[in-house]
Chains A and B, each alone.
Chain A
Amino acid sequence: MNSYLLILPIFLPIALGALSKFIRFRTRRAREIFLMIPVCITSVLVWVLILNRPEGTFTLFKFTQNLAISLRLDDFGSFFAALIATLWPFASLYAFEYISPEKRQDAFLALYTMTYGVTLGVAFASSFLSMYFFYELLTIITVPLVMFTMTEEAKYAARKYMYFSLGGTAFAFIGLIFIIVYGSSDIFQLGGVLNPSDIGNARLLQIVYIFTFCGFGVKAAIFPVHSWLPEAAVAPTPVTALLHAVAVVKSGVFGIARITYFSFGAAFLRGTWAQYVALAIVLFTILYGSSVAVRERHFKRRLAWSTVANLSYILFGILLLSPAGLTSGMMHMLFHAFMKITLFYCAGAVLYQSGREYLSELDGLGRRMPVVFVCYTISALALTGIPPLSGFYSKFALGSAGVSDGGIWGAIGAGVLLISALLTAIYAIYPAIRAFFPQKSATLPSKDIRDPNAYMLIPILLTCMATVLFGVFSQGIYNALYPIASSIVGGGV
């Protein structure tokens, strides 16, 4: 296939999303159809491109001879693109219903659809500069979504998100400069682009790696640049599901993986203090995020803190710099996306149907919204790591990779994962317990409250089913990802 086709999945949702803002639709259904069609076509197109991968690179724009915005589809980009392409139609379907009572839903849905194209740009980016470009664009396009409700809380959250993200990309820019100076180019290559003869001061480059890691780590919500994520829970649930499950946070993780394996290179970083510092940061983040989640009483913010911890699970696997580590990190990236999006959908359904936001208000809601809370329970058990659900295998794989490949830090990581699993059990399962086993003294919710309609229920059920199926077929997924990870870690050798 021709590499020109790579621009289509990016351009289509951006163009039609923007266009939808200016068209006067007679009915809500007409707008939804207009937006759903490009989303579905884009998803199909992405899968076609993944299965019939175009050769070569498509250059969008050239700054200089060596610096350009260009697109290419490799194994790792395909993995991320497949994840986004699979989840976005569900997210859109859910968003249509959720945002329907709001004014300015035309603006919301337009930006929501455009975000799809931008995120695919991150996946398809063939160079550090290209990824940086789409990364900044992702920040700009998602800020209005965070502040959509225009409450003081939402505006504050959006400002914080923007300041953190832009600050993070400033750090990432430092990495870009050094990679261009010390590397053969900024194009992503298996094994990295650093010229061993040009490196000279390796310690300086390792410091730069840490800066870049922290830069992309803002979106990956590592400590101490994580606090924007729970604040952003104030945004409408389709946005938090996007931010916390699919697009933004996974872009941060994806960016860190790219710079680690495709820019700096695993061989350069393995066994260095830079790797250990990064590992220490993510292990602390796991414990910190899990601990704070236990304390948090707001339903969506609790899930947001859970995301802070789980993103660092993925980073732990990536930073082990081994095939098993990267494979388990990718597995958890995939499984966590589905688990977390289901959990957020359920929290959003509760908010939408009953207006309840806090854990103390969930008593007995399981009786009124049984489908939502059954799906919540299944996903919570999966997130905890209960077999045979998906989260068990990815966490087990992470722990095993840590013990076998990570030395002392890997072993510490395995212990941290066990502690975090206990904390996860507490914070994730507790809402389900309140919902299904209310205290005798609690007042049961009104019988008017019930499960949402098909627009919201179908995405919840499908993502929940996927959580179960991934668990059953986890070995097959591991076997499919392992060769990709081996090739990346081995530098293409």
Chain B
Amino acid sequence: MEFLVLFSVVAPLLLAFAVFFLGRNHTHRLNALTVSVCFLELAAAVVMFVVSCSGSFQKVALSDVCGFGLTFEAGGFRSLYVLVTAFSWFISAVFTTDYMKNGENRARYAFFLLLTLSGTVGVFLSADLYTTFVFFEIMSFASYPWVAHEETDEAQQAATTYLVIAVISGLTALGGGARWRCAGNSGTTGCSCKCTYFRGTQRNAAGRGNLPFHRIRRQSRLLPSAYLAPESTRRRTRTRFCTSLRYFNQGWSLWHSGTLLQRYGW
């Protein structure tokens, strides 16, 4: 099970390079490799989910790696979302073979498809804030080329806005995470927790288009543009939602911003 957890996170990341180099001059090979990698991921996710259904929760810790160490845990909610993600990615990969048959830069698209898959799975399997942050950033930056994929002026503008929001929200989450870490070290909670939670949820709110970030996204026409990039933004939005819930059990920030958006609708 430990192997499965690490495989789910690392395999798409490493195989993305192989897919890119082996498939960049051969469309059929590219499609076959991309679909195969996604299928492997789906298979791993299914096995993980089945094992998790028996109630077993597997934790994998890679200490002293990437700074504070990375910790993953498979089981329950996490395995379910990895299964959903892997399934979505597999379907998208199959869909893309025909959808983009006349498209350009397909190898680039496939590369970042797999990289974003790795980031997304890493977010769902992460067992601590730091690991979540690391893979959230990987996911955010790996999905940038999707937004800019068409390379039209509209896509470029949307991608620029996306990047700025991703960086700002990443720094916000980082500030909260650092505060959390410092508070954890000093033993204080209370205000630090709320501060961290607020920053964390606002970071994810940025990705979802919640207040007050929705207007920026609307103005940048990010959502419509990003919807042209197949499936990517919707999956990321779902990921951000789930990640928000994981900061704390309470959802008061989400509830408030969602309620305001519903009520006033601007």
Q: Is A475 an interface residue (CB 8 A)?
A: yes
Q: A472 to B164: give the CA distance in the assembly, Å.
A: 26
Q: A6 to B151: give the CA distance in the assembly, Å.
A: 57
Q: How many residues of A contact B (CB 8 A)?
A: 34
Residues of A close to B137: CB separation below 8 A: 386-387
Q: Is B45 an interface residue (CB 8 A)?
A: no
Q: Are B152 and A474 in contact, with the CB atoms below 8 A?
A: no
* Secondary structure type dominating chain B contacts: helix
Q: Are B163 and A474 in contact, with the CB atoms below 8 A?
A: no
For chain A residues 420-466, which have a beta carbon within 8 Å of chain B?
A: 421-422, 425-426, 429, 433, 436-441
Question: With A396-B174, A414-B178 as given contacts, are A386 and B133 in contact (CB-CB < 8 Å)?
Answer: no
Please give the distance in Å from B61's CB to the nearest CB on chain A.
Answer: 13
Q: Which of B65-73, B81-89, B94-102 contacts its partner?
A: B65-73
Q: Are A475 and B65 in contact, with the CB atoms below 8 A?
A: yes
Q: Is B46 an interface residue (CB 8 A)?
A: no
Q: Are B171 and A421 in contact, with the CB atoms below 8 A?
A: yes
Q: Are B182 and A404 in contact, with the CB atoms below 8 A?
A: yes
Q: Is B134 an interface residue (CB 8 A)?
A: yes
Q: Are A403 and B182 in contact, with the CB atoms below 8 A?
A: yes
Q: A433 to B168: give the CA distance in the assembly, Å.
A: 18
Q: Are B182 and A418 in contact, with the CB atoms below 8 A?
A: no
Q: Is B16 an interface residue (CB 8 A)?
A: no
Chain B contact-residue range equals: 20 to 34
Q: Are A425 and B66 in contact, with the CB atoms below 8 A?
A: no
Residues of A close to B160: CB separation below 8 A: 433
Residues of A close to B67: CB separation below 8 A: 387-388, 392-393, 396, 471, 474-475, 478
Which A-chain residue is minimally distant from B186 (CB atoms)? A404
Residues of A close to B171: CB separation below 8 A: 418, 421-422
Q: Is B181 an interface residue (CB 8 A)?
A: yes
Residue-by-residue, is A311-342 near B (CB-CB < 8 Å gives 1, otherwise 0)?
A: 00000000000000000000000000000000
Question: With A396-B174, A472-B66, A473-B64 as given contacts, are A387 and B133 in contact (CB-CB < 8 Å)?
Answer: yes
Residues of A close to B182: CB separation below 8 A: 400, 403-404
Q: Are B178 and A396 in contact, with the CB atoms below 8 A?
A: yes
Q: Is A381 an interface residue (CB 8 A)?
A: yes
Of listed B66, B67, B145, B153, residue having the most chain A CB within 10 A: B67
Q: Is B39 an interface residue (CB 8 A)?
A: no
Please give the distance in Å from A106's CB to the nearest CB on chain B.
Answer: 41
Question: With A440-B152, A440-B153 as given contacts, are A387 and B134 in contact (CB-CB < 8 Å)?
Answer: yes
Q: Are A437 and B68 in contact, with the CB atoms below 8 A?
A: no
Please give the distance in Å from A333's CB to the nearest CB on chain B.
Answer: 17
Q: Is A399 an interface residue (CB 8 A)?
A: yes
Q: Are A388 and B134 in contact, with the CB atoms below 8 A?
A: yes
Question: With A418-B171, A422-B167 as given contacts, are A381 and B65 in contact (CB-CB < 8 Å)?
Answer: no
Residue-by-residue, is B116-153 near A (CB-CB < 8 Å gives 1, otherwise 0)?
A: 00000000000000000110011001000100100111
Q: Are A437 and B156 in contact, with the CB atoms below 8 A?
A: yes
Q: Is B229 an interface residue (CB 8 A)?
A: no
Q: Return the contact of A404 from the options B138, B159, B170, B185 (Cβ within 8 A).
A: B185
Residues of B close to A421: CB separation below 8 A: 167, 171
Q: Is B175 an interface residue (CB 8 A)?
A: yes
Residues of B close to A387: CB separation below 8 A: 66-67, 133-134, 137-138
Residues of A close to B153: CB separation below 8 A: 439-441
Please give the distance in Å from A225's CB to the nearest CB on chain B.
Answer: 30
Residues of A close to B133: CB separation below 8 A: 387
Q: Is A476 an interface residue (CB 8 A)?
A: yes
Residue-by-residue, is B168-195 near A (CB-CB < 8 Å gives 1, otherwise 0)?
A: 1011001100110110010000000000
Q: Are B167 and A393 in contact, with the CB atoms below 8 A?
A: no
Q: Are B69 and A475 in contact, with the CB atoms below 8 A?
A: yes
Please give the distance in Å from A414's CB to the nearest CB on chain B.
Answer: 7
Please give the distance in Å from A366's CB to the nearest CB on chain B.
Answer: 10
Which A-chain residue is minimally distant from B133 (CB atoms)? A387
Residues of B close to A475: CB separation below 8 A: 63-69
Please give the distance in Å from A8's CB to the nearest CB on chain B.
Answer: 36
Q: A188 to B111: give the CA distance in the assembly, Å.
A: 53
Residues of A close to B69: CB separation below 8 A: 475
Footprint of B on A, CB under 8 Å? 381, 384, 386-388, 392-393, 396, 399-400, 403-404, 414, 418, 421-422, 425-426, 429, 433, 436-441, 471-476, 478-479
A–B complex contacts, Cβ < 8 Å, 10 sampled: A386-B141, A387-B67, A388-B134, A400-B182, A439-B156, A440-B153, A471-B67, A472-B65, A474-B66, A475-B69
9 cross-chain pairs, A with B, having the tightest CB-CB distances, nearest first: A388-B66, A475-B64, A393-B67, A387-B134, A425-B167, A437-B148, A474-B67, A418-B171, A386-B137
Known: A439-B153, A471-B67, A473-B65; 16 extra A-B contacts, CB below 8 A, are: A387-B67, A387-B133, A388-B67, A388-B138, A396-B174, A400-B182, A404-B185, A418-B175, A426-B164, A433-B163, A437-B145, A441-B153, A472-B65, A474-B67, A475-B63, A478-B67
